[in-house]
Amino acid sequence: MAHSSNYALRMPTSLKKAVEEFARQDGTTINQFIVSAVAEKLSALTAAEFFAQRRADGDIDWALAFLSREGGEAPAADDRLPAKYHGKPGA
């Protein structure tokens, strides 16, 4: 981390105890646990905003027309899965 700053965080005792326990189980410090939790929350919010914007930019009529179009040409040889991947998954 190139730069860091301090922030006095107040939380209910019961929540702090739960954070301590999860941090201990995770093998991290309380600080690392909270930083990770905040980063995870920001990532989720950013992703939600991204997909909301993508949805707003979408064109349902175009997508449905694209999905219901006539088939095109057959896949090229290099588009096909190698023979070793055919059959049961994990085989």
d(CA 8, CA 77): 61
More confident residue, 60 or 83: 60
**DSSP-derived 3-state class of residue 62:** helix
H runs (alpha helix) in 1-91: 13-26, 30-57, 60-67
Question: How many domains does the chain divide into?
Answer: 1
Instruction: Show the domain range for 26.
Output: 13-66
| pLDDT computed for residue 1 by the predictor | 58
- For residue 23, is pLDDT > 50? yes
| Residue 33 resides in a domain | yes
- Establish if 54 belongs to a structural domain: yes
pTM equals: 0.56
Residue 79 lies in a domain: no
Report if residue 74 sits inside a domain. Answer: no
Q: What is the pLDDT of residues 24-76, one digit of tens each?
A: 999 999 999 999 999 999 999 999 999 999 888 889 998 888 888 887 778 78
